[in-house]
Amino acid sequence: MPHLMKQKKNDGNYFCKVIYILLILIIIMLSQIGILLLMPIDTLKTVSQIENKKGVDQLLSKIRQGNIHLLYSGALANALSSFIGHYPWFYTYNLLSKNKVILSIEWSTCRNVLIGFISSIVSNTIANSMRVIKTTKQSLGSTRSSTTYAETISLILAADGFRGLFGR
């Protein structure tokens, strides 16, 4: 971004770069809105997997009572896990793309698969705690009307400790 500031504002190339950045930001926001719209389906799926039909019936009963917000339980943690997972993936990918040992692999497809696989492992390991919080908060929605993120984290730590939060 700093290199954009060095260009003249009336430069056509500068204008194209600014439009490009704005377009990328709009696409990112639209994708996050799409993910948010799918949260009710994700919540029902998660409760169904953890609590079975009884949990889904309890959740639907609470929704009929006006607790529609329960369908969006874990939305913040879901967005954070996506955000937190992107930076380590690109950082690892760029770091490994310059590694001489990996560059010695002659077959470019194999090299790219290896770099992408390792980047995904790093990214998922770092972002996994947010997914644990999201899933726990969603499953608590069937038994409790409102649980804060702090309460959710406390319940995870009380049940499984740090290993449950970071190692599940």
pLDDT tens-digit readout, 4-42: 555 555 666 888 888 988 998 898 888 888 888 888 998
Cβ(118)–Cβ(131) below 8 Å: no
Cα–Cα nearest to 79, from 131, 120, 42: 131
Q: What is the pTM of this model?
A: 0.65
What is the pLDDT confidence band of residue 116, given thresholds at 50, 70 and 90? very high
Cβ(58)–Cβ(153) below 8 Å: no
Distances (CA, A) of 58 to 38, 53, 74, 146: 20, 9, 18, 14
Cβ(83)–Cβ(28) below 8 Å: no
Count the neighbouring beta carbons within 10 Å of the beta carbon of residue 110.
Answer: 10
